[in-house]
Structure 1
Amino acid sequence: MTTHRIDSVRLGLVRLPLKTAISDAKVFTGRQKPLTEVAVLVAEIATSDGYQGLGFSYSKRAGGPGLYAHAREVAPELIGEDPNDIARLWTKLVWAGASVGRSGLATQAIAATDIALWDLKAKRAGLPLAKLLGAHRDAVRCYNTSGGFLSTPLDELLDNAEESLSRGIGGIKIKVGQPDAKADLRRLAAVRERLGDEVTLMVDANQQWDRATAQRIGRTLEQFNLEWIEEPLDAYDAQGHAALAASLDTPIATGEMLTSVAEHWTLIQAGAADFVQPDAPRVGGITPFLRVAALADHAGLRMAPHFAMEIHLHLAAAYPHQPWVEHFEWLEPLWNERLELRDGHMLVPHRPGLGLTLSEFAAAHRTDEVEITS
């Protein structure tokens, strides 16, 4: 049997500007500045048999140049390797940069190449990635987040929600966590009144409450029949999240900020989430994401992966328990393709791999690029 090898790895850093500056609770509490762009690390891996895989990672606010620099240092380890050995190659890259850790920026930098290898493997099989992994469904329930930021005036937020539902999106998430909790409650009440009791609603506090505040506000939020309360506490407060999950009727969702399997295992063992929200680019790629998914499945948890719908649609489709996928259109300018929405669901594309090709916009907004060969 002929073994094909990795001939080249092309890395690029793309600066993706947002149409308007975005603020969530972290901005309202003074911990961050408004978000104006997303930095996207793109990896393209070419093999000796003529196939090419595409993957990406990302950073909001700081970190994009760091992702690119670390990926550039360790990517030469892939040259000449068998692209099928994805798990071994993930471990090889992690250990190549282990002096800066096996989580955080180090794993987010190698996520782009790991995702590219999975895209490549699915393309060689002639299958969408979800089918390669073993899909449980061909469409996944989806909810919109991008229309509900705290920086969005209430009238515009309500219009965004109705527009999302009319496009075929199945749920609406709005941001909370303002210093004045009454302002959050007024916005949420207005959304529920406009959309009615049948529409699925979620809220996201972006880690800005302490335990006492989260408990008190969580009890008040029970009246709105929410699908979940997201990140009510610091992302690493597994015990605090577990206490909320045990005491509230409304489910707790968290996990998006974690950057390793070990961190997710701590969360799951503590019973800290009803919905686990891993992010493949943040946790280090599809290889570790699948490990998190296996742990979550074993615990009987529901899943709602964070951001990067272009990747997470496939991963959610392969999760045994009925998941959600998050609709964020921010990355759409990077691709020539669009995901299809219908009846509250996002449809898994029939195209091989992730089903994505880079657009001219992506090429025009690259600030750094390198091609690594033998």
Structure 2
Amino acid sequence: MTDRISGITLSSVTLPLKAAISDAKVLTGRQRPMTEVAFLFAEIRTEEGLEGVGFSYSKRAGGPAQFAHAREVAPDLIGEDPNDIQRLWTKLVWAGASVGRSGASTQAIAALDVALWDLKAKRAGLPLAKLLGAHRDSVRCYDTSGGFLHEPIEQVLANATASLASGIGGLKIKVGHPSTAVDLARVRAVREHIGDETPLMVDANQQWDRPTAQRAGRALEEFGLVWIEEPLDAYDAEGHAALARSLDTAIASGEMLTSVAEHHELIRHRAVDILQPDAPRIGGITQFLKLAALADHANLTLAPHFAMEIHVHLAAAYPHEPWVEHFDWLHPLFNERLEIRDGRLHLSTRPGLGVTLSEQTRGWTVDRADIGAPA
């Protein structure tokens, strides 16, 4: 007998950050320091008593929009077979077709989509990666949260020591300071501190123009970086392609794009060596799998952005050895932790995503909607 979706709970949750975060976008005046992250959680229940949990998020703005859109389209899932995920994704997109197939609308759908995949893996009694078909039981990980530009270099070095001691495999620090000389001095200090063998990446957060990116990229070659991330505007595929051809260091981008179609432009132009999709931003796991197939065909490395609780599963199921970005910001939201050992994130044996929402998450809920049968 076919199971049916009986109820959905949507929660808008505001996660406060311990300190205001600044990257190059703040130093160039384009954004304010980030003090919180807005999350949209979806909890989907079925007539047989199964439940799946998914989430999406927004930084600085957009959280209320995601919640509002999800509340409008989620009723279309009531009574549906939760196994038909691809069909349901299309149904939800058409339910809100007038607002398009990227941005806040599909990011709202992402929370529902992730919850459906979590539910499906739980029904099978498998971790999500195993349901998808894992290539590995652990994934290389690198830390970002200790390398922001608002911190003095002494603190960045202390953060690097702590990250590596915890078992994390690589480090990424922010660049894009108004003075390239300051960027180079910070990168040099970190490289000397961690040694030549530890993987090191930098992230300019789209704040360079093409000449600056070219000059900075050449100057950074000596540090043996794994990649230079977002050296240019996220939508400048031609500029990224020219940079990728001219530098030995790999070019990475993609986190700010909000659809498979936008990522396809990077792939079509051969603009990046490393693609950095974000499943919640591009519409969820269903869309991520489509993009992963395109990236695999192009022989690209994947390094999914943020949301490691989702991306460790998707990276484990990618044919080419990927990277996953480690952020401890989300720890208070979940009761479980991913194991970090020998430079890698290790999959748990728990079914689905392997996470449950903490009581603190309930306390940070600012809006909630129950659709269908209440929780």
Q: TM-score range by the shorter chain?
A: over 0.9
Corresponding residue number in structure 1 for 2:44: 45
- 1:118-149 CA-partner distances (Å, limit 9, x unpaired): 00000000000000000000000000000000
Corresponding residue number in structure 2 for 1:179: 178
- 1:27-77 CA-partner distances (Å, limit 9, x unpaired): 000000000000000000000111000000000001100100000000000
Corresponding residue number in structure 2 for 1:266: 265
TM-score by length of 1: 0.99
- 1:256-297 CA-partner distances (Å, limit 9, x unpaired): 011111111111010011000000000000000000100000
Counting matched residue pairs gives 373
**How far 1:170 moved relative to its partner?**
0.2
Corresponding residue number in structure 2 for 1:355: 354
Matches of 1:357 and 1:27, distance apart in 2: 34
Corresponding residue number in structure 2 for 1:60: 59
* Letter in structure 2 aligned against 1:204: D
Corresponding residue number in structure 1 for 2:3: 4
Matches of 1:128 and 1:174, distance apart in 2: 31
Corresponding residue number in structure 1 for 2:201: 202
Corresponding residue number in structure 2 for 1:342: 341
Matches of 1:10 and 1:114, distance apart in 2: 14
Matches of 2:211 and 2:103, distance apart in 1: 29
Corresponding residue number in structure 1 for 2:230: 231
Corresponding residue number in structure 2 for 1:278: 277
Matches of 1:322 and 1:29, distance apart in 2: 35
Matches of 1:106 and 1:89, distance apart in 2: 15
Q: Unmatched 5+ residue regions in structure 1?
A: none
Matches of 1:350 and 1:302, distance apart in 2: 26
Corresponding residue number in structure 2 for 1:189: 188
Q: Map residues 1-374 of structure 1 onto 2, 5 A cutoff.
A: 2-373=1-372
Partner secondary structure for residue 14 of structure 1: strand
- 1:191-218 CA-partner distances (Å, limit 9, x unpaired): 0111111110000000000111101110
Matches of 1:152 and 1:87, distance apart in 2: 43
Q: Unmatched 5+ residue regions in structure 2?
A: none
Matches of 2:330 and 2:95, distance apart in 1: 30
**How far 1:153 moved relative to its partner?**
1.2
Root-mean-square deviation (CA, aligned residues, Å) is: 0.5
* Letter in structure 2 aligned against 1:255: G
* Letter in structure 2 aligned against 1:77: D
Partner secondary structure for residue 330 of structure 1: coil
TM-score by length of 2: 0.99
Identity %: 72
Partner secondary structure for residue 313 of structure 1: helix
Matches of 1:284 and 1:268, distance apart in 2: 18
Matches of 1:15 and 1:229, distance apart in 2: 31
After TM superposition, which residue ranges in structure 1, 4 or more long, deviate above 3 angstroms? none
**How far 1:152 moved relative to its partner?**
1.2
